[in-house]
Structure 1
Amino acid sequence: MTYRTTFKYISILSIFLFAIGMGCKEKKEAKIETTEMKIEKPMGLEILIGTYTKEESQGIYKAYFDESTGTLSKPQLLVETENPTFLYQSQNKERVFAVNEVKEGKAISFSWNEDRTRLNPISEQLTGGSGPCHITLNNAQNFVAIANYGSGTFTLLKTNEDGDFLGEAKVRNHQGSGPVMPAQKSAHAHYSAFDDNDKYVYVVDLGIDKVLSYTIDNNGKLGNEQTALQMDPGDGPRHMAFHPTKKNMAFIINEHSNSVVSVSINHETGTFTRIDKKSTIPKNFTEPSFCADMHLSADGKFLYGSNRGHNSIVVFSVSDEGKLDLIDTVSVEGDWPRNFTLSPNGQYMLVANQKSNNITVFKIDAKTGIPSYTGQQIALSMPVCLKF
């Protein structure tokens, strides 16, 4: 074989081997790129997060929660808006409603973009009060109720299926005070809710130690204010929750007395009768603490409440008659648990810790009802509301 022939043979072989190598490299790189795309794609249930925007947060965020593993993804900003401290989703999850907790309070409705990565504003309206801190829809999804903490007022707005606010806001002013100064110097509405039949709307007022009720008709006409329940002086009622299976039972958590009250409901008169009252913090704890949020398990057997200061979740068992028995208090692994939520399958609890800027995840024991910290948490500046 001549030198020229040998060189030609070697050249052809080299080109052939190079081509094979490049092909393998391209296939390998393509495989890696596909794998990275799968990793980056979020999995699980959507959870919306309302925040205070006083520091680093910018508005409403979304994360994904995997109910099979208890893992929570990094939060993503959906929309910039000031102090969206309470959120509510329509029944079909297509509309999101929020308050702007500012001096001249606002209610805003949003719709999703096509891939649910952004929220687009639909409508906004002044609430006619300051510092709105709670918003909810009735069962017919055509009226929005808002509690304005700063001004101690309750607001009713009409809405349609597209999320538009219609007409003028109807505002009711609460009057009175309580013994805890300066917190109860005046009225401070903190929560509102409609009954199952949209016959009554209940408003919990922290400043005057009352739960108030108003009748409401199909046109949104409000009846006169009446006292559904007079709380003990200095209770500072903050939130209310209906029993999930017993339609004649509800619960009220008190910010200042650190307690929970169970009540029976008279659906004809819109009034309550007290059943039981229990403390949410240990007797030997003497530092300042203030209750915040409250939820019940889907079967109604367990009630949970958050303690800001003691920085814990209290766990009660609930009897068929509405009696409360303390089971345990569990550390939230953070500071100032303003709001928390239970996963749809009831197996997990997620807690928004306002001052420690984190959201912590707990696994709930189905038999005892006690949540245990999973070690899973994410960081976010001043989270204060969680909604699946």
Structure 2
Amino acid sequence: MRTSIILCLLLMMIVDTSIAQEESGKINDSINKIYVGTYTKKEGHVDGKAKGIYLVNQNSDTGALEFKGTVAEVVNPSFVKVGRMGKYLFAVSELGANDGANGFIYSYEILKDGMLKQISKNSSGSYAPCHIALDRSGKYVFVSNYVGGVVMSYKINEDGSLAPNQKINLKNPDKSHAHSVKISGDNRYAYIADLGNDKIWIFEFREGSLTPHEQQFVDLEKGAGPRHMSFAKNGSFAYSINELNSSISVFEVLKNGGLRLIQNISSLPASFKQRNSAADIRMHPSGKFIYASNRGHDSIAIFKIEDSGKLTNIDFVPVAGKTPRNFTLSPYGKYLYAASQDTGNVTIYKINPDNGKLKPQEPVFEIKTPVCLEFVK
């Protein structure tokens, strides 16, 4: 009896320690896997030099990165996304009209050594697929095509293959540039950022299908160019990074899933007057800070999230490279990694958990034409 009590106490101590480590961001010296989406050939906006999808190991204690090699050879895998439980990886092949009839989305099994085994290959429904999203159940995949105003959804089969599920045709397809899909935390609503139409389209999401919401869309400023979105931890506020006018739009999320604009704030310092295009936006796991990337100013903008949901700028931190398109945060928010596609490197920052500020780490990690960074969680 006494032995059983002692064993129970020991188990409770281990669990409590593990939880405390997770909450503080102090985790052991384990290795995390990061898959890197890239460009493999020259396009109008990039000189791709990569070979396909790369695998990088991250030391969760020091933040250091180690290149492990090419794990899948595919043309322009510019966006990659890991499925639930880290079993599968999905990747676009960003092809244009000169490359074939359409772009593609691949699904891969993630093997124990991190290598990828191709499971399926599907048409993306149009050209230049540029973003992948999952619903909260992990059963459906959404692909946004930059050309043609098309968003495709797929059902994930038990073996990891994808089955076409629904094709969404946005209005004004010649003008539309669908850049991303964001699913609400309760899995009831979907938001499509349409850069070309300066709109965020709103849909209800039920049983795998999207149907137009009663508030079909929310308009942004003309020439804003909504690109990616992030949600507050409690789901009450939404944040859109706008590529063309380098701003962040803040929305109150209404009880019925609609959006109400409450703030527009620049992603740039007021003194910067040169050309810029904003790219990505990420919420810190604490829910206290939000980060955005600038291409041109070549920086990461840091904002504090006020109780009202509105943003207050904290800092602008330069990246050690050019064109930081995508960036990501480590699973517990200890480090931020910014991929600079035009200089072929990744800047590593340590995050101050108290004020959200970033401290660059040395050395800068070299890797060819990195575009998207995705942790296996």
- Which band: TM-score by shorter chain? 0.7 to 0.9
Aligned mates of 2:309, 2:113 — CA distance in 1: 41
Equivalent residues in 2 for 1:154-165 (5 A)? 154-165=151-162
Aligned letter for 2:54?
A: Y
Q: Tell me if the contact between 2:33 and 2:114 (Cα under 8 Å) persists in the aligned partners.
A: no
Aligned to 1:294: 281
The number of residue pairs the alignment matches comes to 335
Aligned to 2:229: 240
Q: Secondary structure at the match of 2:210?
A: coil
Tell me if 1:83 matches 2:70: no
Aligned mates of 1:53, 1:307 — CA distance in 2: 23
Aligned to 2:241: 253
Aligned letter for 1:110?
A: Y
Aligned mates of 1:192, 1:202 — CA distance in 2: 6
Q: Looking at CA atoms only, which structure, 1 or 2, has the larger radius of gyration?
A: 1
Equivalent residues in 2 for 1:216-365 (5 A)? 216-218=205-207, 220-224=208-212, 227-244=216-233, 246-268=234-256, 270-365=257-352
Q: Tell me if the contact between 1:106 and 1:124 (Cα under 8 Å) persists in the aligned partners.
A: yes
Aligned mates of 1:162, 1:377 — CA distance in 2: 38
Aligned letter for 1:210?
A: K
Distance 1:328 1:221, change over 3 A: closer
Distance 1:370 1:164, change over 3 A: same
Q: Secondary structure at the match of 1:149?
A: strand
Q: Secondary structure at the match of 2:211?
A: coil
Aligned to 1:109: 107
Aligned mates of 2:300, 2:188 — CA distance in 1: 33
Offset, 1:142: 1.7
Q: Secondary structure at the match of 1:74?
A: strand
Q: 1:175 aligns with which of 163, 171, 177?
A: 171
Aligned mates of 2:154, 2:204 — CA distance in 1: 15
After superposition, the C-alpha distances for 1:45-98 in whole angstroms (9 at most, x for unaligned) are 111110011133111111111121121112411110111111111120010011
Offset, 1:208: 0.4
Distance 1:162 1:266, change over 3 A: farther
Aligned mates of 1:62, 1:385 — CA distance in 2: 12
Aligned to 1:56: 49
Aligned to 2:373: 386
Aligned mates of 2:255, 2:64 — CA distance in 1: 41
Aligned letter for 1:384?
A: V
Could you state the TM-score of these two structures normalised by the residue count of structure 1? 0.83
Aligned to 1:10: none
Q: Tell me if the contact between 2:241 and 2:278 (Cα under 8 Å) persists in the aligned partners.
A: yes
Aligned to 2:145: 148
Offset, 1:267: 4.2
Instruction: Provide the aligned C-alpha RMSD in A.
Output: 1.7
Offset, 1:176: 3.7
Offset, 1:221: 3.2
Offset, 1:198: 2.4
Offset, 1:262: 1.3
Tell me if 1:209 matches 2:202: no
Aligned to 1:37: none
Aligned mates of 1:382, 1:282 — CA distance in 2: 27
Aligned mates of 2:209, 2:49 — CA distance in 1: 41
Q: Tell me if the contact between 1:260 and 1:279 (Cα under 8 Å) persists in the aligned partners.
A: yes
Aligned mates of 2:37, 2:301 — CA distance in 1: 23
Q: Tell me if the contact between 2:30 and 2:60 (Cα under 8 Å) persists in the aligned partners.
A: no
Aligned mates of 1:117, 1:279 — CA distance in 2: 39
Distance 1:277 1:375, change over 3 A: same
Aligned letter for 1:83?
A: N
Aligned letter for 1:78?
A: V
Q: Tell me if the contact between 2:298 and 2:319 (Cα under 8 Å) persists in the aligned partners.
A: yes
Tell me if 1:66 matches 2:56: no
Aligned letter for 2:105?
A: A
- Which is richer in strand? 2
Q: Secondary structure at the match of 2:147?
A: coil
Q: Tell me if the contact between 2:149 and 2:172 (Cα under 8 Å) persists in the aligned partners.
A: no
Aligned mates of 1:346, 1:292 — CA distance in 2: 20
Calculate percent identity across the aligned residue pairs: 35
Aligned letter for 2:169?
A: N
Aligned to 1:181: none
Aligned mates of 1:324, 1:195 — CA distance in 2: 20
Could you state the TM-score of these two structures normalised by the residue count of structure 2? 0.85
Q: Secondary structure at the match of 1:73?
A: strand
Q: Tell me if the contact between 1:277 and 1:324 (Cα under 8 Å) persists in the aligned partners.
A: no
Q: Tell me if the contact between 1:128 and 1:169 (Cα under 8 Å) persists in the aligned partners.
A: no
Q: Tell me if the contact between 2:231 and 2:239 (Cα under 8 Å) persists in the aligned partners.
A: yes
After superposition, the C-alpha distances for 1:129-188 in whole angstroms (9 at most, x for unaligned) are 11000011112222111110022211111222321122x4522222249xxxxxxx7110
User: Which consecutive residues of structure 1, in runs of 5 or more, have no partner in the other structure?
Assistant: 1-41, 178-184
Aligned to 1:377: 364
Q: Secondary structure at the match of 1:83?
A: coil
Larger mean Cα displacement after TM superposition, 290-299 or 222-231: 222-231
Aligned mates of 2:113, 2:80 — CA distance in 1: 16
Q: Secondary structure at the match of 1:56?
A: coil
Offset, 1:204: 0.5
